[in-house]
Amino acid sequence: MSSTTPDERLRTAIAKIEAAAAENRLTPASATNASRWLTESYLAEYVPDVLALVDADRFEELDRLFWEVIPFGTGGRRGLMADIGSATINNRTIGESAQGLAVYMQQATGKTSGVAVVTSDTRLRSHDFAKLTATTFAANGLKVYLFESPRATPELSFAVRHLKCDVGAMVSASHNPPSDNGFKAYWSTGGQVLPPHDKGIIDCVYQCQELATIDFDEAVAAGKIEIIGAEVDRAYIANVLAMSLSQARDIKAVFTPLHGVGETAVYRAAEAAGFEGVTIFEPQRAADGNFPNVPDQLPNPERPEVFAPAIEQARAEDAALVLASDPDADRLGIAVRNGEGEYVHVSGNRIGVLIADYILRKRKEAGTLSPEHYVVETLVTTPLIAKLAQAADVRAIDDLLVGFKYIGQTMDREGPDNFVFGAEESLGYLAGQYARDKDAAIAGLYILELAAELHAEGKTLLDRLDEIYVEHGYFTESQTSLVSEGPTGKAQIDALMQTFRDAPPAELAGITLSRARDYGTHEVRSLPDNARVEDLPQPQGDLVFFDSAPGERQISFAARPSGTEPKIKFYYFAQASCPNKDALTTAKTNLEATLTDFKTALTEWVKKVVDN
């Protein structure tokens, strides 16, 4: 009877991995990462699980777990949860994230200790991951503030500043499905980490071997971890309410946290502000990372389907609007009742337009604006916000890459005293200086105030949008995505982006595209020859815009790989002049039809490229 030694079993497993890679059953990166998890002594506890997959020839699953070392994207590290895997969120990758952040902070600042604050949303395993993060920080010599229970991402951003922390960590995967989780890293500004810090942290993560640890209860008893809650909550809500611009409170609305933390932020702020007509949607109130009562269990307020259950309650209560925050309550979506009694889902761009217009009008009336003040938005956010800012004689900074961290960075660079409003199309908004990340609570406050003022005039938020269009022209935007998951998905996305650069479409649905603006190569190219005509300044990012020729009607689209999900995103922009109110309906109908045809044509073009 022969027996196999552990070393022999490991050698056999590695040989099988190498053979699978040679047969294209595993990507090279998966083979490298899986082999490392089998051979490095500091990963020994995971060896049995990896061996079980290899022994069972489950190479497809092995590929899914190890095809990359999960990177820091536009929203930190985010992905599928699993027990093992360099490409997933698990105890090891969360521990590495915390250790890497702590080590890098100390290297970058020259400190031997430091202060950190940690919290999480309501996702599965979030609280355990938050405790793991706290103990890892504490074991690396940091004094750690840990929230007693789940809180909103913007409150974490606020807490970093309020508690004078060096770093912060939020365990969340934003609006992703229940299977996912993530780790958002914050710097002392209260903003998410930016270049070069993000690369420095990842370098430290890659160098992590043994993870520092300490018993949680012992750390609390020793004062190395301090449990916090109510005091920071009060300070955060007070800062939100200090931004109020109106006393109007007479409005009926339904709010849903989609089983997330929104009750601690959006609803608490609305209550404290005196909005007695705002009720909470009970079926989606309980903290539950499975999001059981959300359609398709996808708690993303950008999806109109998400609002359907709460709209039934809103109709029964004769409410004027429905508000929904995502699980970590940094994004806010709304649906508004129109003149026919139907509830209309409002896009993130249009919510941003409504809030920007409201703030600029109220502050103009109050005399608190100057030409030095500024509004900030990302490159893929509606140009109508910049137009509103210019009309109010304030600066518009609208050339930022995707990610609210760049809005926070701009606030610190340009001076927070002159910051008026920041927006991104994916339901992210901020006003005030108390945070450096988007906040559904301040967005909710302003939407409710504006809705209450309009209600007193017999108008709705939709009516106000129409008034803005008559004054500035009709603007409409849209998005589509191509999802490409797993180890081959990234290659497909990269190849498609390269095709956009090398052989882009010059005409779609009868719309001639006249130029490309490439933020990856820093150049403007004329079309159809795709020849460089001028330099394009910063920022640097994997983003390409294509524009039609200037005229009464303009169409543009942008393509970029998502920084947090396995997809390539397409952003569409269209605008047309609207000389008067009577022309608005025609302008809307014609432009929406044109944009629909344009999107269909691009989708077909992309399909041909991918299929070839």
> How does residue 485 score in pLDDT terms, banded at 50, 70 and 90?
confident
Q: What is the pLDDT of residue 74?
A: 65
**488-508: pLDDT as tens digits:** 788 889 999 999 999 999 999
**Residue 355: CB atoms within 10 Å:** 24
* 427 pLDDT more than 50: yes
Taking residues 118-124, what's their average pLDDT?
A: 98
- Backbone phi and psi for residue 508, each to the nearest 5 degrees, phi listed first: -140, 125
CB 561 within 8 A of CB 542: yes
Q: Is the pLDDT of residue 573 over 60?
A: yes
Predicted confidence at residue 564, as pLDDT, reads 66
Query: What is the full DSSP assignment across 70-128?
Result: ---BTTBEEEEB-SS-TTSBSHHHHHHHHHHHHHHHHHHH--SS-EEEEEE-SSTTHHH
**pLDDT at 445 > cutoff 90:** yes
Q: 315, exposed or middle or buried, with CB in 10 Å at 0-12, 13-18, 19+?
A: middle
Indicate if the alpha-carbon torsion angle 15, 16, 22, 27 is positive or negative. Answer: negative
Res 487: pLDDT:
66
Query: Quick one: 361 exposed, middle or buried, by C-beta within 10 A (0-12, 13-18, 19+)?
Result: middle
What is the percent of the chain where pLDDT is above 70? 99
Average pLDDT over residues 154-165: 98
Cβ 78 vs Cβ 171: under 8 Å: no
Homologous superfamily of the 233-472 domain (CATH): Alpha-D-Glucose-1,6-Bisphosphate, subunit A, domain 3 (3.40.120.10)
- Amino acid of residue 456: A
The residue assigned the tokens 């140009």 is 383
**Cα–Cα separations (whole angstroms), residue 454 to 319, 404, 448:** 14, 29, 10
Burial of residue 21 (number of CB atoms within 10 Å: 0-12, 13-18, 19+): buried
- Over residues 227-251, the mean pLDDT reads 98
Residue with tokens 């030095």: 372
Name the CA dihedral angle for 22, 24, 29, 33, rounded to a multiple of 10 degrees: -70
Lookup result for tokens 């009607």: 553
The residues that bridge with 512 in the sheet, in sequence order, are 507
How many angstroms separate the Cα of 426 from the Cα of each of 300, 302, 330, 463?
Answer: 10, 7, 10, 22
Q: Identify the CA nearest to 207 among candidates 97, 133, 114, 112.
A: 97
So what's the pLDDT on residue 346?
A: 98
Residue 96 has pLDDT above 80, yes or no: yes
Strands of 225-228's sheet, edge to edge? 77-80, 180-187, 167-171, 115-120, 143-147, 225-228
Of all residues in the chain, the percent with pLDDT exceeding 90 is 89
CB 207 within 8 A of CB 154: no
pLDDT of residue 168: 98
For the cut 90, the answer to whether the pLDDT of residue 28 exceeds it is yes
Q: Say if CB 134 and CB 203 are below 8 A apart.
A: no
Give the model's pLDDT for residue 483.
Answer: 87
530 in helix, strand or coil? coil
**What is residue 461's predicted lDDT score, i.e. its pLDDT?**
98
Residue reference for tokens 């002159």:
418
Which burial class, exposed, middle or buried, applies to 611 when counting CB atoms under 10 A from its CB (0-12, 13-18, 19+)?
exposed
Sole residue written with tokens 């409005």: 251
Predicted pLDDT at 87:
95
Least confident of 302-311, 371-380, 549-558: 549-558
Average of per-residue pLDDT across 99-112? 95
pLDDT for the residue numbered 1: 40
Name beta bridge partners: 168: 117, 186
Residue 293: its pLDDT value, please? 97
The b-or-e profile of 398-409 (16+ CB within 10 A means b, else e) is bbbbbbbbbbbb
Contact 482, 610 (CB under 8 A): yes
Percent composition of the chain: helix, strand, coil (DSSP 3-state, to 5): 45, 20, 35
Task: Name the residues annotated as catalytic.
Answer: 174
Identify the CATH homologous superfamily for domain 75-228.
Alpha-D-Glucose-1,6-Bisphosphate, subunit A, domain 3 (3.40.120.10)
Give residue 191's pLDDT.
97
* Mean pLDDT, rounded, for 596-609: 95
CA distance 295 to 262: 18
Residue 250: its H or E element? none
Question: Could you report the per-residue pLDDT of 244-281, keeping only the tens digit for each?
Answer: 999 999 999 999 999 999 999 999 999 999 999 999 99
- Domain spans, the chain: 1-67, 75-228, 233-472, 473-611
Average pLDDT over residues 107-126: 96
Q: Which value, in Å, is the radius of gyration of the alpha carbons in the chain?
A: 25
Report the alpha-carbon distance of residue 235 to residue 214 in Å, rounded. 30
2 pLDDT above the threshold of 60: no
Average pLDDT, the chain: 95
Query: Do 75-228 and 233-472 agree at the fold level?
Result: yes
In the predicted model, what is the mean pLDDT of residues 352-378? Answer: 98
Q: How far is CA 54 from CA 62, 66, 305, 492, in A?
A: 8, 12, 41, 27
Q: Is 2 exposed, middle or buried (0-12, 13-18, 19+ CB in 10 A)?
A: exposed
Cβ neighbours around 41 below 10 Å, total: 8
Q: How many contiguous H segments (helices) and E segments (strands) does the chain have?
A: 19, 23
Whether pLDDT at 113 is above 60: yes
pTM of the complete model: 0.95
How many angstroms separate the CA atoms of 181 and 174, rounded?
8
Instruction: Name the CATH superfamily for 473-611.
Output: Alpha-D-phosphohexomutase, C-terminal domain (3.30.310.50)
